Amino acid sequence: MRRPAGVVVAAVVLGLMALMGIFGGLVSMGVSIFMQNNPAMPAVPGMRAVMVLVTGTTLCFFLFCGWTAIDLLRMRRWARYSILVIGGLEFFFCALLSGFMILIRNTAPAMPQTTPSPIGMQAMFIVIGAFYGILSLMGAWWLVYFNLAPVRSAFAGAGQQVLEAGPGASQGVVAQAPDGTPGWRIVIVAWACLMLFSVVGLPMVVVMHLPVFLFGVVVRGTAGTTLMVALYALMLYMGIGLLKKWRAAWYAALAWQVYTVAVFVSFLVPGVWARLMAYEQEVQGRWGLAFTTPNATAVIDERPFMRIGMVIGGIVGVAIVALFTIALFKRREDYLGA
């Protein structure tokens, strides 16, 4: 069956993005492993191992994107679902980053410069925001295009297989492809994959013993590490359970939505914001975040970004909770039966 032109274009674009990401991942991996006294790496015990793990995970993601691009050209049905998930993630995160870059352009701290810069800091944030905006539009294109009826039909037709009846048989039996995955199911699959992907941050939590801020309370030491391990274990269980359609995972995911809303509401309690700022300064001091040049050193102050980030995060968080809750109820028969 002839491939639609849009599928070919999307596969080529995704393949190029995958190649650039793989190349960048390999370079970052090499720098993380072999470069000593890396100024971009905070002097924190275990940070090199954490950087290698994060870079390796990113590299695996771009390898998966490359695999998806290849199977789009082969008109594999799973590749359509895959690019829908990739497009949704790209649209969401790049749109969020684009809006954040544009909003903070006036609050960005001035960096020390040894030579005049041809472009101002505000213009730089606008350029970065525009770049993420273009990537977000690309993800939106994939979401819309691969949900068009002709494209779905093309992949469904390519999924049909002719099974030979036997040696010497003149006719085959056409096996019809199963019905496509409903849109709300794809939302749940994407959410489950995000939870599974987030588990890669567990080694960083264990190695660095960072304090945990939860409901206005800072939990430190072994208690904080134990709490984060428990949360990551729950996310791992929900990710696997939502993919395998476990009944208990559906209830756990619903409870997770309640927990997320409670976290958002806790920031409305008087005094919680001040404690969050103190917590951020503590973590910043532990990481040693600073921008250093031969003539000056500037500590990165995150406070100008925090309020804007919290507002954007709150709005986006409410939207995500609503989206995932609707998806859970729309597909509840997958977990609870008819």
Identify any residues that bridge with 172 across adjacent strands, giving them in sequence order: 164
Q: Average the pLDDT over 134-155 and give the result.
A: 86
Mean pLDDT of the chain: 75
Highest mean predicted confidence (pLDDT) among 12-16, 93-97, 209-213: 12-16
- What's the rounded Cα separation, in Å, for the pair 167 and 148? 39
Across the range 58-79, mean pLDDT stands at: 87
Q: Which two tokens stand for residue 301?
A: 């102050």
Q: List % helix, strand, coil for the chain (3-state, nearest 5).
A: 70, 5, 25
Pick the residue with more confidence: 129 or 66? Answer: 66
Average the pLDDT over 209-231 and give the result.
Answer: 81
Among 158-162, 216-220, 252-256, the range scoring the smallest mean pLDDT is 158-162
Phi, psi of 246 (to 5 degrees): -80, 140
Per-residue confidence at 241, pLDDT binned at 50, 70, 90? very high
Give the range among 104-113, 216-225, 264-273 with minimum mean pLDDT: 104-113
Quick check: 263 and 216 in contact, CB under 8 A? no
Of the candidates 256, 255, 254, 265, the residue with the CA atom closest to the CA atom of residue 310: 265
Question: Binning pLDDT at 50, 70 and 90, where does residue 294 land?
Answer: very low
Q: What is the pTM assigned to this prediction?
A: 0.61
Average pLDDT over residues 72-83: 86
Question: Coil, helix or strand for 35?
Answer: coil
Q: Give yes or no for residue 116 having a pLDDT over 80.
A: no
- What value does the mean pLDDT take over residues 65-82? 87
| Pairing of the two strands 161-164 and 172-175 | antiparallel
Residue 24 has pLDDT above 80, yes or no: yes
Say what the pLDDT of residue 216 is. Answer: 78
pLDDT for 246: 92
Q: Average pLDDT for residues 110-120, to the nearest whole number? A: 54
Between 121 and 19, the more confident residue is 19
